[in-house]
Amino acid sequence: MPGKTIRVAADVGGTFTDLVCFETDAESGQSTVRTAKADTTPPDYEIGVMNVLEKSGTDPAGVNVLVHGTTVVINALTERRGVRVGLITTEGFRDTLEIARGNRPDFFNLHYRKPPPFVPRRLRRELPGRMSYRGEEMRPLDLSGLDGIIADFQGEGVQAVAICFLHSYADPSHEVAAEAAVRDLWPEVSVVSSHRIAREWREYERCNTAVLSAYVQPVAERYLDRLRDRFEDRGFAGSLYVMQSNCGVDSLEAVSRIPITMVESGPASGVWGAAELGRLIGESNILALDIGGTTAKCALVEGGNVRIMTDYWIERDRTSAGYPIMVPVVDLVEIGNGGGSIAWVDDFGKLHVGPRSAGAVPGPAAYGRGGTDATTTDANLWLGRINRDHFCDGEVVADMAAVERTITDVGRRLGVDTDDAARGIVRIANNNMVNALKLVSLNRGFDPRDFTLVAFGGGGGMHAVALAKELGVRKVVVPESASVFAAWGMMMSDLRRDYFVTRLADLTPDEAAGIEAAYAEAVARAIADFESEGVSPERVTVTRFGKFRYRNQEHTTEIELDADPVSEASVGAIADRFHDAYEREYTYRLDAPVEMVGLHLVASAEVGKLEMTDRESTGASAEIAQKPGRTVDFASEGDHAATVYDGSRLEPGMRFAGPAIVEAPGTTIVIHPGDRVEIDGYRNVVIQVSDANGKEFPGSGAGAGTDEATGGSEGKGGVT
Amino acid sequence: MTPTFSAIASFSGPGEAGGLSSPSRRRQGTGTVGTHSPASTPPATGRTGPVAADPITLAVIQAGWTSAAEEMFAVLRKTAMSPIIHEVLDVGTGVTDGDGNLVGSGAGIPSFVGVLDKAVRRILEIHDSFGPGGVRDGDVFITNDPTYGGVTHLNDVVVAEPVFHAGVRIAWVASIGHWSDIGGMTPGSMSVAAREIYQEGVRLPAVRLFDAGRPVTPVFDIIAANSRLPAFASGDLWAQIAAGRRAAAQLRQMAATYGLDAYNAALDALFDRSERQARSGLRALPQGDYAIEEEQDDGAIWRARITIGTEAFRVDLRDNPKQRAAPHNTSRDGAVIASQMLFKALTGPSLPTTQASFRPLDVITEPGTVFHAEDPAPHGFYFETRIRLYDMLWRCLARAFPERLPAGHFGTIGGTVVAGVHPETGRSYTMVEPQMGGWGATANRDGLDCMYSTSHGDTFNCPVEICEARYGLDVAWKRMNSRSAGGAGQGRHSGGRGLTICYRPRGQATVAVGFSRHRLPVWGLAGGHDGGTNGLTVIRSNGDREDYGFASDLVVAAGDSLVIRTANGGGWGSPSNRAG
């Protein structure tokens, strides 16, 4: 439709499918925003997507850009709804997948259960042929047994074939040849070769990645096809992008080839949203905190950059080794602590919150659907932090009798009254989250006091200020679209691909040419990949990172490099940068040779993403947004009479102070006594946090009692 | 002759004086370490008695100790240089209170969990005997010697640092890691020919590495000069120092946030809870008196008697062979740890472990025996002795209550050391790898395939791709054993499968290995068949075959194959009752 551009982001989550729609007028540049939520509809997720579109009144025919995020991959994995996979691997190593790494995190337990492989032994087959770690062919690939293997696979009902050979990261030609031969013999089957997903060493991780990718490939491919068909049936003619785990989007075609890259797309888009929001409001150092129904996730954004790694595991915890997936995933810490996390008292009188969750059914006791366990949400209701008369935006009548019953039960086991039990639940939940935030900040050598906390998800605003006080964080930002923030983040994403390649070299002038050649090869590959999909080279931005270590170490520290080619002259500066980064994280540096282990390339291209505009203060007083106040128990600071604001009526420039509650659609923000709030030009709620004793931190902006602009308005207009 | 030695495993009994200590270092008979009564605690902790801190605050502080230990582990893993630390994770990290009582431990291996508290207490004995100020803020200590709190063998280096808040010693942070080479008579430092500990490497007798914040550089220099791999030694040492710093900072911050009273109240509450957990687990066990006598591969007869009562779990190891002039001895601490591991597995394996988790445990040993070796006994392969001890104690109780414990597992660390010069880089390398094998079947299911031993935990095998690049050898194959009829470990539930792995050196190399259950097979349970045996076969390029259980200074050349096979676990129940 001429004159306006319609961008839609649709994010399928575990419980809800969220939508954000921006309609931008070409002439004025003004956007109108719609958000909507609908139930997620497994296993036919596309139905939920169409429902939420309908609910928001958006016609697919008019949509120019659709960005889609989905849990289809992670659900297929955790619910074991993938297809039967056959594996072809190097002779002598078909048991690698089952031997795994031999580790046992629950180490005193003589009754440990080892996670079973996704492919049983009879479907793990071998071919002769061997590469060395330097990529030299030691023994040629012998494909003569392949016919028999494929015939067996067909007889066994295999639907996808994974291929992983030793040292294919160094030279993939054996995998390429085997893949072509499989396609010749059996054109209909899905084939996944490990090197197309990962070019890094560690054969078990790479092999498991190829296997899990094959396992979900037909499922994800069918889903994406159905989604596209649905949209096209309704006249959609725009561009369709799919959210990835590396904070970027990719084309539907590319994602269909390697769908495993979607595995953590939801959390990634939230983190990316926080980074993009930071760019808008001039904050480059951010702690991103996403509190949902079952988990809390946090990540660090430093200097505007998120960290992407390939050390990702599913189902790994204190009692299980889990399964590795070697794809680029945003570096985040996820803990089982969300609104629905269950509070419980162990046999020895200790209170715990999570990781078990009441989920959507039965949900927290307050839902009145038969939930018999107290959850964090129930405690927040009991303490008046959540409005019991306007629960779930007024859609659910809170069953306060059930809340009281379950929390009193926790209290009885703890030997405290109901109020103390509720406070205890909130404090334990907060402590779990503080520890997670420390993992991504303090423990990597970053001081949380140098960061702004951006909190989102349904529960972010509820806990953020208390966490900030504990960590010494001075500013908390709760975005306007906090409850659908992952969808918002998707809308702000670029087309992005991360290339990780293992390349061992001493960081010395002698090796500079070889290192540069490896980068040049990877850059050429990235450009060619994009070009084959119609993205011209001049639109592609490439950022170079390198993974370095002291010789003999195993683990690496990633350093961003300049765009200039690596040369004899530049290796010294690269080494200095490594020494500095290493010392910041680990407190010492060594006078030892530095080694490069691999490169990491980020190739990205803009896809015409949204530009947000900053609005002027309306001059209105926050009083007009007030609702009836109530007494709120802040858990750490006790009872206070809090002013309550209707979040949907807050306007740019409004200011007020805690104790206060903001009730916004899908989320509640708790503002503690002594904290000060300003609504910024993007309608974000910006909170200046006082310290734990109610005093403002030095340098946090406003003097007491003045109406001078607080830190929230700094750096406005920093639109990228 | 020293009198028979008996002590509570937490060393809280007054009878502990004597025994282990070397003549020059007198143990203090404090008699209080390990108890939680404020009245009996030495003043170093500055405790003021019970404090009315709320249970939530206490829980928050307790989470902090675990988190500090886990963070140490993460740092060590990322910064160490010996592959056996950063890949195999043959390390342990722990936090103790100011007196050396364990309060939290990180991941790694269970057999290291009980080492660090003992090391700290020994350091305190040696250095606090100089009176107040003996241990100061900014000090860092190092030990690797069983006589000086090192517990295990010289390869395992402990670095421990006291943590002070407001002048009070509130904690120790400590780590232990297996260094690839600590000197001695053979590459990798573990020689089967060693007759005295002096042949096993440099001894670090609980000395200062930092003195009130200043590095004691001569100690660093002595360490580097005594290792065949000085860059690794220095890298591992700094990794352990950095790990301690990370944890110490967290603990200091915690004490500052909550105050000493709450901190100490949390300690008391934690010890109290873990003791109650242990006692509750103990009471759930069948009471009785159980004995075992077991022949070892070398023909020696080992004996143990386990007495389970409502209040105590006693392990009597007095009636055992004399220590030997061979590296198969363990310190008394090592024997205590074997007993602690079994006690923990029986009374609550997944619960947090503290000093008080072991209060009901009582271990009795005889000085001068293989389970209570005295200076200058060599300890190089102590880990095989200890894993066999654990295995024997486990077998003793598995016979008594077969529904509760699995059949025997492959029962060896399978330490495999290959050292040589990397043909492509020209640099020296030393591979130190444990091996995986089969675990025993249980009353409910088949045994686990290809796991590391019970002495290991979150231990990772070295990827073949990294192994071939880092070391001068290739891996020709790695296969699980057969489960087919005729395979070892058959049963109503069958033992898990071991494996065979074939290494092929690309140039000359020196090999050392240690495999228990090389002659006598893994034990089945409740009518299940025995599992297999472990060992190394060297296939020379001319086709000659040599078979080894324990070996060192074994020279191999390009073209030779080292084929290692590990046992299937024992079966459980008669195979004739197998379903399907």
Distance, in angstroms, between B428 CA and closest chain A CA?
A: 11
Least CA distance to A415: which residue of chain B? Answer: B55
Interchain CB contact of A98 with B (< 8 Å) = yes
Q: Considering CB atoms only, which of A105, A133, A203 is closest to B107?
A: A105
Please determine, for residue B545, whether its predicted confidence score (pLDDT) is greater than 60: yes
Least CA distance to A552: which residue of chain B? Answer: B81
For strand A685-688 and strand B5-8, is the pairing parallel, antiparallel, or unpaired? Answer: unpaired
Neighboring chain A residues of B63 at a CB cutoff of 8 Å: 431-432, 435
Distance, in angstroms, between A123 CA and closest chain B CA?
A: 15
Q: Considering CB atoms only, which of B81, B110, B466 is closest to A553?
A: B81
Q: What's the pLDDT band for B132 if we cut at 50, 70, 90? A: low
Contacts of A95 (CB under 8 A, 6+ apart): A121, A124, B450, B478, B479, B480, B499
Q: Which residues of A593-619 are buried (b: 16+ CB within 10 A; e: fewer)?
A: ebbbbbbbbbbbbebebbebeebebee
Q: What's the pLDDT band for B209 if we cut at 50, 70, 90? A: very high
* CA B196 to chain CA mean position, Å: 21
* Distance separating alpha carbons of residues B513 and B413, to the nearest angstrom: 10
pLDDT of residue B255: 93
Q: Considering CB atoms only, which of A133, A443, A588 is closest to B71?
A: A443
Q: Cβ-count burial of A591 within 10 angstroms (0-12 exposed, 13-18 middle, 19+ buried)?
A: exposed
Q: Considering CB atoms only, which of B79, B110, B442 is closest to A111?
A: B442
Distance, in angstroms, between B369 CA and closest chain A CA?
A: 27
* Distance separating alpha carbons of residues A613 and A120, to the nearest angstrom: 55
Cα-only R_g, chain A: 26
Contact present, A249 and A265 (Cβ < 8 Å):
no
E strands, B179-321, in order = 207-211, 214-215, 288-295, 301-308, 313-316
Judge: A99–B436 Cβ closer than 8 Å, yes or no: yes
Query: If you average pLDDT over residues B149-164, what whole number do you get?
Result: 94
Residue spans of the domains in chain A: they are 4-73+222-262, 85-219, 495-605, 622-713
Q: How many other CB atoms sit within 10 Å of the CB of residue A135? A: 13
* Distance separating alpha carbons of residues B206 and B189, to the nearest angstrom: 20
Query: What is each CA distance from A191 to A140, A211, A687, B453, in whole angstroms?
Result: 21, 10, 51, 37
Pure H helices in A532-599:
571-586
Query: If you average pLDDT over residues B114-130, what whole number do you get?
Result: 87
Q: What's the pLDDT band for B131 if we cut at 50, 70, 90? A: low
Neighboring chain B residues of A550 at a CB cutoff of 8 Å: 81, 235
DSSP-derived letter for residue B322 is B
* Distance separating alpha carbons of residues A107 and B428, to the nearest angstrom: 33
* Distance separating alpha carbons of residues B141 and B112, to the nearest angstrom: 18
The 3 state secondary structure assigned to A582-641 is HHHHHCCCCCCCEEEEEEEEEEEECCCCCCCCCCCCCCCCHHHHEEEEEEEECCCCCEEE
Contact present, B91 and B460 (Cβ < 8 Å):
no
Q: Considering CB atoms only, which of B83, B463, B502 is closest to A203?
A: B463
Interchain CB contact of A316 with B (< 8 Å) = no
Judge: A586–B86 Cβ closer than 8 Å, yes or no: no
Interchain CB contact of A435 with B (< 8 Å) = yes
Distance, in angstroms, between B250 CA and closest chain A CA?
A: 9
Judge: B110–A108 Cβ closer than 8 Å, yes or no: yes
Judge: A92–B477 Cβ closer than 8 Å, yes or no: yes
Q: Considering CB atoms only, which of A203, A350, A555 is closest to B273?
A: A350
Instruction: Please tell me whether residue B16 adopts helix, strand or coil conformation.
Output: helix
**pLDDT tens track for B267-301:** 999 999 899 999 999 999 999 999 999 999 999 99
Q: How many contacts (CB atoms, under 8 Å) link A and B? A: 188
Neighboring chain A residues of B456 at a CB cutoff of 8 Å: 102-104, 107
Query: What is each CA distance from A71 to A75, A262, A267, A323, in whole angstroms?
Result: 6, 8, 10, 18
Instruction: Give me the CATH code for the A4-73+222-262 domain, please.
Output: 3.30.420.40
Judge: A109–B480 Cβ closer than 8 Å, yes or no: no
Distance, in angstroms, between B218 CA and closest chain A CA?
A: 17
Instruction: Name the fold adopted by A495-605.
Output: Dna Ligase; domain 1 (3.30.1490)
Judge: A202–B463 Cβ closer than 8 Å, yes or no: yes
Q: Considering CB atoms only, which of A202, A349, A592 is closest to B465?
A: A202
Least CA distance to A635: which residue of chain B? Answer: B56
Q: Cβ-count burial of A155 within 10 angstroms (0-12 exposed, 13-18 middle, 19+ buried)?
A: exposed
Please determine, for residue B421, whether its predicted confidence score (pLDDT) is greater than 80: yes
User: Comparing A629-638, B49-58, B318-327, B505-514, which segment has the lowest mean pLDDT?
Assistant: B49-58
**AA letter at A303:** G
DSSP-derived letter for residue A444 is G
Neighboring chain B residues of A94 at a CB cutoff of 8 Å: 479
B-proximal residues of A, 266-285, CB under 8 Å: none
Contact present, A54 and A34 (Cβ < 8 Å):
no
* Distance separating alpha carbons of residues B43 and B553, to the nearest angstrom: 51
Contact present, B281 and B187 (Cβ < 8 Å):
no
B-proximal residues of A, 211-270, CB under 8 Å: none
Judge: A555–B460 Cβ closer than 8 Å, yes or no: no
* CA A217 to chain CA mean position, Å: 21
* Distance separating alpha carbons of residues A235 and A59, to the nearest angstrom: 9
Q: In what order do the strands lie in the sheet with A639-646?
A: A626-633, A639-646, A660-664, A667-671
Give backbone dihedrals phi and psi of A714, rounded to 5 degrees, phi first. -65, 145
Interchain CB contact of A555 with B (< 8 Å) = yes
Distance, in angstroms, between A610 CA and closest chain B CA?
A: 40
Residue whose entry in the numeric block shows the structure tokens 């709120």: A632
Neighboring chain A residues of B353 at a CB cutoff of 8 Å: 108
Contact present, A285 and A452 (Cβ < 8 Å):
yes
Neighboring chain A residues of B450 at a CB cutoff of 8 Å: 95, 98-100, 102
Q: What's the pLDDT band for B212 if we cut at 50, 70, 90? A: very high
Average pLDDT of adjacent 10-residue blocks, chain A of 720 residues: 82 86 82 86 90 93 92 89 97 97 88 95 98 96 98 98 98 98 97 95 97 96 94 93 93 91 93 95 96 90 92 88 95 90 88 87 90 95 93 89 96 93 94 90 82 95 94 94 90 90 93 96 93 87 95 90 92 96 92 94 83 85 94 88 95 95 93 95 94 51 34 30
Interchain CB contact of A427 with B (< 8 Å) = yes
B-proximal residues of A, 347-386, CB under 8 Å: 347-351
Neighboring chain A residues of B80 at a CB cutoff of 8 Å: 553-554
